Structure 1
Amino acid sequence: MTTEQHSTYISLSREEWATLHSSPAFQLSELEIKTLQGTIGNLTNEEINQIYVPLIQYLSFNIQAMKQLHRVRNEFLQKDTKNLPFIIGVAGSVAVGKSTTSRILQSLLSNLPEKPKVEIVTTDGFLFSNAVLKEKGLSDKKGFPESYDLKVLIEFLTEIKSGNPRVQAPVYSHLHYDIIPNEYIDVCQPDIIIVEGINVLQTPKQVGDSIPSRFVSDFFDISIYVDAEENHILNWYLERFKVLKETAFAQPESYFHRYAALSDTEAEAVATDIWNRINKVNLENNILPTKFRADIIIEKGINHQVENIRVRKI
Structure 2
Amino acid sequence: MAGPELGTETVAGPELGPMEIHAHRIREHVVAMCAGPEGGHLGGSLSAVEILVALFFHTMNLDPDDPEWKERDAFVLSKGHAAMALYATLAERGFIAADELATYCRPGSRLATHVNVAVPGVEFATGSLGHGLALANGTAWAQRQAGGRPARTFVLVGDGELQEGSVWEAAQVGRALDADNLVVVVDANEFQQTGAVRDVSDGAPIAGRWAGFGWHAVEVDGHDLAALCAALDEANRTQGPVAVVCRTQKARGAGVLAGRAVSHFVRLDEAKLRRIRAGLRGVAPRPATTEEAAGA
Task: Report the TM-score when normalising by structure 1.
Answer: 0.35
Report which structure shows greater RCO (CA 8 Å, sep ≥6): 1
